[in-house]
Amino acid sequence: MAGSATKDDTDRTTLIIGAGSTLAGALIRQLAAEADGGRIVAISRRPAPTPGAAVHWITCDYSEQHIASTCAKLMTYQGSVQRVYLFNGQLHNTDLLPEKRLEDLSERCLQSILHSNTIVPALWLARLPTLLRGPRHCVVTLLSARVGSINDNQLGGWYSYRMSKAALNMLVKTAAIEYQRRAENVSLMAYHPGTVDTPLSKPFQSRVPEDKLFSPQRAATYLTQCCDGIKPGQSGLYRDWRGEDIAW
């Protein structure tokens, strides 16, 4: 039955995809420091930052083929995975800034931002049911953003980022329906971490009140608390760092 205990509850794996993210780094450090943090498997385009026995680091270029072969390797952890985090996402990079007005839209920017925020997570979600299905409750969290909420959009701008996160949210809602049939033990959640002090938010922090700019460590704590609050059977969620639902 979904959510019931497995034979060996001490054999627990956390899968962290997009592990080069600053927020992911804080989560990895936090889990690695916990005595019962379980096994950590980290996946990234980048090489492991510092070799550590606590983390099994796998590099992946996020091509469809490489995602498929990585998922095949991950099958050794089948039955033990209880948390999956997908951190992939970009707001800007060395070439691209978030659009302020329609004239700023470009095919290149749209393709690049949609690729990292939506397409890469979608390719992972498509491959994960076989690995994740089983008796153990597993929470899969995709890093979204409140600006992906269509209801909440009062300010406009940031077209490609908003579009990519709104599409990610729809991915979560739609995949949750299929996972109910194919891996009913899995809870899917789109998650807004608040504004976190990382390179992604750096250029846009000036108007953020000090108490609303979270350190990556604090954001990692909120993230794990929110995941711990999800019960078996709950899925297709869109929640923030307080654990509160966000209007889609």
Interface ranges with ligand NAP (CB under 6 A)? 18-24, 44-46, 62, 87-90, 116, 120, 143, 145, 192-193, 195-196, 198-201
For ligand NAP, give the closer residue by CB, 133 or 159: 159
For ligand NAP, give the closer residue by CB, 63 or 76: 63
Q: How far is the CB of 106 from ligand NAP (least distance, A)?
A: 16
Q: Which residue is nearest to ligand NAP (CB)?
A: 89
For ligand NAP, give the closer residue by CB, 18 or 236: 18
Q: How far is the CB of 175 from ligand NAP (least distance, A)?
A: 17
Q: Two tokens at 143? A: 């890093």
For ligand NAP, give the closer residue by CB, 4 or 63: 63
Q: How far is the CB of 137 from ligand NAP (least distance, A)?
A: 24
Q: How far is the CB of 44 from ligand NAP (least distance, A)?
A: 3
Q: How far is the CB of 13 from ligand NAP (least distance, A)?
A: 18
Between CA 187 and CA 94 the distance in angstroms is: 35
Q: How far is the CB of 4 from ligand NAP (least distance, A)?
A: 32
First-to-final CA distance of the chain: 30
Between CA 48 and CA 138 the distance in angstroms is: 25
Q: How far is the CB of 234 from ligand NAP (least distance, A)?
A: 21
> Element (H or E) spanning 45, and its range?
none
For ligand NAP, give the closer residue by CB, 18 or 98: 18
For ligand NAP, give the closer residue by CB, 70 or 201: 201
Between the CA of residue 167 and those of 139, 143, 163, what are the distances in Å? 20, 12, 6
Between CA 113 and CA 110 the distance in angstroms is: 5
Which residues does 5 contact at the CB level (< 8 Å), separation at least 6? 135, 136
- In the chain, the amino acid numbered 226 is C
> Element (H or E) spanning 186, and its range?
strand 186-192
Between CA 186 and CA 192 the distance in angstroms is: 19
CA nearest 148: which of 140, 158, 135?
158
Between CA 232 and CA 176 the distance in angstroms is: 13
For ligand NAP, give the closer residue by CB, 145 or 176: 145
